[in-house]
Amino acid sequence: MSIETLAEIALAMVAPGKGIIAIDESNATIKKRFDGVGVECTEENRRAYREMLLTTPNLNQHVSGAILFDETIRQSTKDGVPFTKIMMDNGIIPGIKVDKGTFPLAGFPGEVVTEGLDGLRDRLKEYYELGARFAKWRAVINISDDAPSQTAIDANCHALARYASLCQEQGLVPMVEPEVIMDGSHDLDECYDVTEAVLLSLFNALREQGVMIEGTILKASMVISGTTCEEQAEVEEVAAATLHCLRSTVPATLPGIVFLSGGQSDEKATAHLNAMNQMGEQPWPLTFSYGRAMQSAALKIWAQDLTGNLAAAQQTVFDRARANGLAALGEWTA
């Protein structure tokens, strides 16, 4: 696929006032979410839940794409219509999570590296045939007294770059996600330093692997205080620090940046995005790719009655999408 086509898809993913909904939880992760609301984690319940999300009326007004899990991209509605067809018929671009999760980084206790490159070319080819037009790979960077090491940063960024190159070879826009984890006692400045080092390593690796930046999307974590840090940065501080870090590391040719919520509350994730978009024009669109911050409220409603609360759950999904869509324009009000 040509770079022009990849660039067109990437730009459509970050269209004004729209973002990405992440519903790519593994079966183990979705089980934890279901356990928390008292829903049995069967294949049918997972299918029904994701149908509720993907068939939310008017979702395409604020959502440009959705990241799916391997099981989900193969599933259909209760009426037998493939999820990918439902999405494409409504102008929502199908995406797919392709990494195989994190594993211990040998020789570096407490640090991890994401795996999944083996056989990836063939898997990407199949996902394209199933309807996917973009993919996602998540790296995990932990902050502690001894971490992250430069080795862990570089190993994860190299894997992200290899994945991205394979995606573009198969006609898929790569979404690269080097998540700096919020958990920890680190302050805003330490998060800034780690995020800067990660992004510098990432874009260096992407260039080395011949990845076309114009056909790539960055899924970024925000520069934010650790969850147990005594001094929590204010919304404007998070927004300013995040923008400064991005401007110093991310090429202007990148089509756009989508943010992960990373465990923030629904409203905080929206407020931070809104504040960034109120700080003047940036080289790239800034929007959302939220999972929990788009789903958690709707999941609680849906869980109370898996069929009877469908409309109420979908209204909540739409409301969250609308709030984040407005934040992507800097027009959200609490």
**For residue 162, which of 114, 102, 130 has the smallest C-alpha distance?**
114
CA–CA gap between residue 98 and residue 115 (Å, rounded): 10
Structure tokens at 6: 């990849």
Cα separations in angstroms, 135 against 3, 65, 266, 328 = 16, 11, 24, 22
Phi and psi torsions of 53, nearest 5°? -65, -50
Q: 173: Cβ–Cβ under 8 A, 6 or more apart, which residues?
A: 6, 9, 10, 13, 133, 134, 135, 167, 215, 216, 217
DSSP 177-201: EEEE---SS--HHHHHHHHHHHHHH
Residue 182: Cβ within 10 Å count: 21
Q: What angle do CA 54, 55, 59 make, to 5 degrees?
A: 80
**Which active-site residues does the annotation give?**
177, 219
Query: Looking at residue 20, what DSSP letter applies?
Result: E
Structure tokens at 197: 């080092």
CA–CA gap between residue 47 and residue 73 (Å, rounded): 10
H-only helix segments in the chain: 3-13, 27-37, 43-54, 70-73, 83-89, 120-130, 150-169, 188-208, 235-247, 266-277, 292-304, 310-327
CA–CA gap between residue 107 and residue 85 (Å, rounded): 45
DSSP 287-321: EEEESHHHHHHHHHHHHH-TTTTHHHHHHHHHHHH
